[in-house]
Amino acid sequence: MASINLIESFQEFKDAENIDRPTMMKVLEDVFKTLLRKKYGSDDNFDVIVNTEKGDLEIMRRRTIVEDGQVEDPLAQIAYADAVKIEPDYEVGEELYEDVDIHDFGRRAILAAKQTLASRINDLKKNVLVKKYNDRIGEIISAEVYQVWKKEVLLLDEEGNELLLPKSEQIPQDYFKKGENIRAVIKKVDMKNNSPVIILSRTSPLFLAKLLEIEVPEIFDGLIVIRKIVREPGERAKVAVESYDDRIDPVGACVGMKGSRIHGIVRELKNENIDVINFTNNINLLIQRALTPAKITSMDVDTEKKHAEVYLKPDQVSLAIGKRGVNIKLACELTGLEIDVYRDTEDEQNEFDIDLDEFADEIEPWIIDELKRVGCDTARSVLELTSEELERRTDLEKETITEVRRVLKEEFEKE
């Protein structure tokens, strides 16, 4: 059969990985049967034989030989006189097979077939890519940085497929250079302009979970289970783990000897502090562990309202809240409760103090609320912190902090 420059399309189709042979053959048959239907009105008496190995095909026309003058269906039958012109040995009643010359379809039809074939190949590749990555959502992948943009990073996997790591899914301290390999978790597969877009993430709790699974064999084997992970990417993470084997200490297994297992993960996450705690159904104990490294004096928990009031010694309040309030925020996410932190003043009975609410006529309520948010609920607790520390931990401006401290100091001087 004469070459029609379709061999390149065939070859591209044959080389498309993960597309099974029956699917290849079916698509090719469909394309050429469409051509046959357009030219002859039906494809019932035609066989499209595909050779995906060589990258070619042939079309055979099948008709029954009938007596001269008795042809009722030209597509299915051929007169004896016409049949013997093709092959003298034919007899009435036999099946006649002959090649269909692709050039008979015309140049336009051939070009249309080639375009349709290329389109179908492209769609198949997209479907294969979508299925492949949909099945791998939640897995860690290592990919090469191909292009770094302001809002996202373009990566290539080992097969040359394009992957995207948006800025929102990057750890704030991440810095990438073209050509380096980075690890991320496959978050989702989106469709954009009818093309699959594979989105990766390094901020997802799932990324930390998979890193732990790689580093801790007991998690991979199912002896230790991760009950919950909460993260402030690049800052801090809290991981609640539980052991199904009483002989295994889940926290010790995750951290490793002298922190050997956790150190690699901390480096991967750009020095993110990782608190690994024992999960428990005892909510009071879980709150206590979730507020690590702070030590709690006492607490009141209302499980119905999902609220807890926690009391700590003055020097533990800042530890419980953490830098920019991250520690208490993660503790709230981990326990599912709204936690309020208060200074335990029982040991300071001899030391005079004033509740911040007493200054409502001189200090605006939203400023008082902001100070309470970082654990400063009394005048003395505010004054014990430097202006710089208050500025760093709250959203208040320097002038506001200076004015608040002045008002509080004046009240103590009066007393």
Share of the chain above pLDDT 70, in %: 89
100 and 40 within one domain: yes
Measure the CA–CA gap between 22 and 204, rounded to whole angstroms: 39
What are 104's two structure tokens? 């008979």
97 and 67 within one domain: yes
More confident residue, 22 or 189: 189
Give the model's pLDDT for residue 395: 81
Per the domain annotation, does 158 fall within a domain?
yes
User: What number of helices (H) and strands (E) belong to the chain?
Assistant: 15, 15
Give the model's pLDDT for residue 66: 83
pLDDT digits (tens, 9 = 90+) for 47-95: 777 665 655 677 777 888 788 877 777 777 888 887 777 778 777 878 8
91 and 35 within one domain: yes
126 and 34 within one domain: yes
More confident residue, 19 or 239: 239
Give the model's pLDDT for residue 361: 82
Give the model's pLDDT for residue 351: 56
169 and 112 within one domain: no
83 and 126 within one domain: yes
More confident residue, 43 or 150: 150
CA dihedral of residues 277, 281, 284, 286 (deg, nearest 10): 10
Per the domain annotation, does 138 fall within a domain?
no
Measure the CA–CA gap between 377 and 370, rounded to whole angstroms: 10
The CATH number of the domain holding residue 359 is: 1.10.150
152 and 65 within one domain: no
42 and 125 within one domain: yes
Question: Which of 99, 131, 163 is the C-terminal boundary of a domain?
Answer: 131
Angle between helices 260-268 and 205-215 (to 10 degrees): 140
pLDDT digits (tens, 9 = 90+) for 171-187: 999 999 999 999 999 99
- How many angstroms separate the Cα of 263 from the Cα of each of 236, 243, 273, 344? 14, 21, 10, 35
125 and 13 within one domain: yes
163 and 78 within one domain: no
Query: Residue 153 is part of which domain span?
Result: 146-203
Tell me how many domains the chain contains. Answer: 3
150 and 103 within one domain: no
Give the model's pLDDT for residue 207: 95
Question: Which of 105, 131, 157 is the C-terminal boundary of a domain?
Answer: 131
Nearest to 70 by CA among 78, 62, 60: 78
The CATH number of the domain holding residue 187 is: 2.40.50
Q: For 10-14, 188-192, 239-243, which range has the lowest pLDDT when averaged over its residues? A: 10-14
Nearest to 373 by CA among 394, 392, 359: 394
pLDDT digits (tens, 9 = 90+) for 188-239: 998 888 788 999 999 999 999 999 999 999 999 999 999 999 999 999 999 9
pLDDT digits (tens, 9 = 90+) for 157-168: 988 889 999 999
- How many angstroms separate the Cα of 176 from the Cα of each of 197, 234, 258? 20, 15, 30
